[in-house]
Structures are given as structure tokens and as C-alpha cells.
Structure 1
Amino acid sequence: MTTMLALDYVIVFVYLGAMISVGLMMQRKAEQGIDSYFLGNRNLPWWALGASGMSSNLDISGTMIIVALVYAIGARGFYIEIRGGVTLIMAFLMIFMGKWNRRAGVMTMAEWMSVRFGDDKEGRLARTITAIVSIFLPLPDSPVLFGLRRFLSYWP
């Protein structure tokens, strides 16, 4: 069994202290208002705003799943690569969405939909449909549901 040395504890506590310090500094900046918290006081360049919006959709799991599925089920598993290609296109589009969001002065998708479709009856319908699709469309691909389907397939 390996134990931590004194230097290891120093590193952990220095890191912990640095994270708390950064958090307190950012809290002061964030207390200026909601725009300051979410949009950097609207001082972020458009490309950073777009990249920030897209970065939350990227992770290594997409790459890992391509390799795993191609290995497990052959070429049929390669359709996942299309998702990767779509993700790259999404990154390209998000850069332009950063410009559009900056020009429209919006912070959320709901605000964007209001600017895009208006506040009349049709605009409310478009926002409602978008919300429903955004919530329920990803559910069939949910890893939890995938695992549940796999588990239940072995149930007597």
C-alpha cells in the first residue's frame, strides 16, 4: 500500500488553496450581475463566446465510443462517426452563433428563440416545440436507457 508523503500533502493543500482563491476572485466579479457571471460582462470576443457555447458539447467519450463500437460490432458501429462529423460542424456553427448572440444581446436559447420568432402566438409555439424536442429527443440515446434496455433484455 502506498502512502502520501509530506510533499504530496503540500501539493494537495496548495492546489486546494489556489482553487478557493480563484473561486473567491471570480465570485467578486460575478456579483456584478448575471451578465457578468454568464457572459463576462459582455466583454468576451464573439469567437470566445461561440467556442464557450460549443465546448460544453465536446468530450472524449465520442471518440472512445467510435473505437469501441467499431471493435464490438464492426462497420455498423461507424455511424457514430457521423455524430463526430456533425459535432465538428456544430463547432463551426457555434462560432457564428457567438456573433449572432452578441449582436442580438441574448444570453440563453430561450431568449434567442424569442428574438428569432417573436412573442406572438407562432413564436410561442416555436419555442414550445423546440423545448419539447430538446428535452425528449435525446432520451432514446441516453446511456442510462441503453443500460436499462441491456439489463432488461436478460430479465426472465
Structure 2
Amino acid sequence: MAICIHPWAGGSTILPRLLDDVFSEIDDAFNELAHIERPHRCHRRKAEKKALSGQLEKVTDDGSKLAISLDVSKFKPDELKVNLDGRTLTIEGKQEVTEGHNYTSRTFLRQWTLPENVDVEHIRSSLTENGQLAVEVPKFKAAVTSISIPIQKAIHQ
């Protein structure tokens, strides 16, 4: 676009007002496009977060073991990691897919602090065919000891 200042326009504010109007219309058009696209992207991200959120995980304690079940059906087994650091259990998934010019990345990280009454030496995990990752940690068996405690006579001083 070429701008030409004519001698008859000297001191006039027509040109700046004209440019303001043009750029204002362009800004309005871009803002409308952004509003059209934004809800779609936002909705998609919320749906993906919900799919990977805690609503698809289940933690149960049946008295003999602590069990964690997590839906990881979007991930391949080699894209998953289950680690135990001290009493902190971490389940992590990372997936990267490149198809032509499209790149998709999907990740999640879940952590739990295991209670003192579980046997972390015997923790195990398994993955079902339908994508359910199960982690089970057995609890220590309570030692049932029964002893008789004799009653002694208190000495008064």
C-alpha cells in the first residue's frame, strides 16, 4: 500500500484518522478469528486433560494390599515407566508422534507416597490388553502376639 501526502492535506487530520480506521478494522477481524478458533482449541485440550486425568485412576485398600489402577490405553508399553524412590511411587507416560508435518506429544505423571505399612520389596505392576496399568503393593502381615501381662503390686512410699 502506498501512502501519498497531498499538499491539500497539510495540517489536516484526515490521513491519521483514515489509517486508524483501517488498522482498527484489521485488529477487529483478527480478534474475531481468534475468538472463533479459541473455544475449539480450549475444548480439545480440556477433553485431552480429562482423558488423562485422575478420573481414570483408582486407588483401593482392601486390608491386605494397596492397589492402583490407571487407564493408560493411549500409550504403548515402552512409553510407560513405573518407578519407586523410597516410598514415592511414580507412574509416567510420554508419547511423541510425528506424521508428516504434524507433531503430537502426550505426557502424564502421577505420584503417590506409599504408607509405612506396605511391603515395597514385593511391589508389582502389570498391563492388561485393554490398557489398564495395575500396581499392587502387599501390606505387612500384622504380627499377632498374645502375651499375658502380670499385675504387680504397687509400692506406696
Shorter-chain-normalised TM-score: which range? under 0.3
Which structure is higher in strand share? Answer: 2
TM-score when normalising by structure 1 = 0.24
TM-score when normalising by structure 2 = 0.23
Considering only CA atoms, is the larger Rg found in Structure 1 or Structure 2? 2
